[in-house]
A and B are shown apart, each in its own frame.
Chain A
Amino acid sequence: MTGETAALGARYSHASGLDPAVTERSVTAQIANIALHPTIRRRWCLSMMGAGLLTFVLMVSIGWLFVAGIGIWHLQIPVTWGLAISNYVWWIGMGHAGTLISALLLIMNKGWRNSLNRFAEAMTVFAVLNASIYPILHLGRPSFFYYLIPYPGTLGVWPQFRSPLMWDVFAVGSYLIVSILFWYIGLVPDLAVLRDRAHGRFAQVAYGLLSLGWRGAARHWIRWRIAYWTVAGLAVPLVVSVHSGVSMLFAVGLEPGWHSTLLPPFFVFGAVFEGFAVVTLIALSLRRAFGLQDLVTARHMELLARLVLATGLATIYGYLFEAFGAWYSGQPYERALAVYRLLGPYSWAYWATLACNALSLQLLWSARLRRNLWVLGAVAALVTVGMWCERFMIVIPSLAHDFLPSSWRSYAPSVWEWMTFAGTIGLFLLLFLLFVRFLPVISMFEVKEILHAEREPRAVA
């Protein structure tokens, strides 16, 4: 294995992971042209139509939800939280890999992240946007969502700060703000490049406005760097705190399967695991669609595969200890729930989780399989599905099968819930397609920076 790694290392640069053929000029040309002179207009338009249709489905299902009421979802007593909450957890979890790649690896000076961070961050922003819709849709009285926001109203009533939902509002809110900021700050120098290279007047003005008058002056770069690293510093703790906060939504409740100190790290690992899987899928698609094999190289894919494997193993540890904890607690309700998850009406979710996340992941131990992009893509897709099943498995069975047997009742999502879910996928795709069409999908200046540092070490020093 060391030999194989060495082989990759020999082909691609160790620090940046870039292909030796890449030059600073070729990076700019290739990336800027994707936005300015798209070559796959037809395919893009077709994809846009599909995504647009799904987004329309989202709009319809949200519209009807607001008109007809939350009852169009098949929620009930005891299962008051259903697909919406498990989707919320899934979407917000997805974002974590983006932040980890951009902020944590930036601070850790991992240069190879420069090929991945832009689209990973875009994924984060869009996923968190999708996630942040759900808590509002999920309200019985969505028009009063602002009660969740601490504001000095005349009634003098404040939110209830002990509630994990409250923490979620802060967590998701700050996450959304920080990831948009981080993404946008990172975009500014590249937007200036697009402004300079754009031919159309509209594009010039639009990119010009967005690039905030960036001229590449040294003073700009100093300011920029301070801002970028500061926001990165803010984003890093969010990688851990946001999903810990989300897990508190469950851990603070007494329901069996929820009430556990294991949940915060378990949720964070699961989130990053899921996020890396989605980043892998996006990287594979972009490489293929835009011929970016020189920039997102086999070495990058290898690194992503390893990250998926590592975070996946941590998640599997969570599964083991969840089961062990239920047994070791000696509590009949915890044990009964563990059995219910395994054998009850939602056992499909449990076994699908294990099959997708634990079983398929083992393929990545083998370097040969790992480097087969088809295998890697299949595993990443399975993990994305598996993590969805896991979120479902965490949220619903605990409510459906808690303490008093008289209340036990299983839940099946209504067509509106599925439509909303499909719609959020559509919105994600729509935003992502707009992103690849109009913005640089890979951070041009950061790739050039690492290229420069690699090839002319003295210049940087």
Chain B
Amino acid sequence: MASVCRHEFKSRDDLVAYVKELSPQATNQTISQLQPSMHLIEGLLQQVSPSEYARSRNFLAGAVTHLSPFITHGLVTIQQVRDAVLAHSDASTGEKLIQQLAWRDFWQRLARQHPDWLWHNIESHKTGWQPDDYADAMPDDVVDARTPVACLNQLIQQLCETGWIHNHARLYLAAYVVHWRRVKWQVGAQWFMDLLLDGDLPSNNFSWQWVASTFSQKPYIFNLENVHKYANGVLDTAPERNREIDASYEALQQRLFPHMVEGQ
């Protein structure tokens, strides 16, 4: 019979050391403060606030559920979260939050139907660039949080240190990697999978394709004004430290996609 692994530990450090022994190949990373337990999950389900979520969900400090790592690993299902939402509110108030759960269901169904889409372009780019125009490796300054964009460096640091960033922040980073730095979305998607505690292949990879425009009608981009609005003071959005993204959408589109043909 295969050997049974330990279940008793003197401390969390003891457990972490044991996991390192079990999996010496694993990249060394900061350990999450989240300590999974059913008690914690039940607490988070109790705290779900559908009305607050609907009001603030796009803000980086918004009232999101923080249940995603537990959903990814099956400790709680999206059905259970939906039921908690409906226990706290009527369907109309809960709709925004349930719609986000539905995105996950949608990605899962798509991955089951088309597993080959997880790592391959579903459609062609609508950016005017060809697949080979995108780089095969992450730029060092992005990985090391030393880009010329201060607010993005803060998000990269948070991602590396905690394994979690807000969904809106994920879209900013993905757009920066794919459109500003012209890196293949697959490379960025793998970078996120390496770091995110809640990294779920369908949600992660299809979202990267959505940003890249290989699974959407147009590329997703953002600008400093948008970050400033949704960061609401939690990021450094001083224009002098974020020049690369400090422009109108029209100007950015012309700069990032000079060969783009509208309506293609």
Q: Do A and B bind each other?
A: no
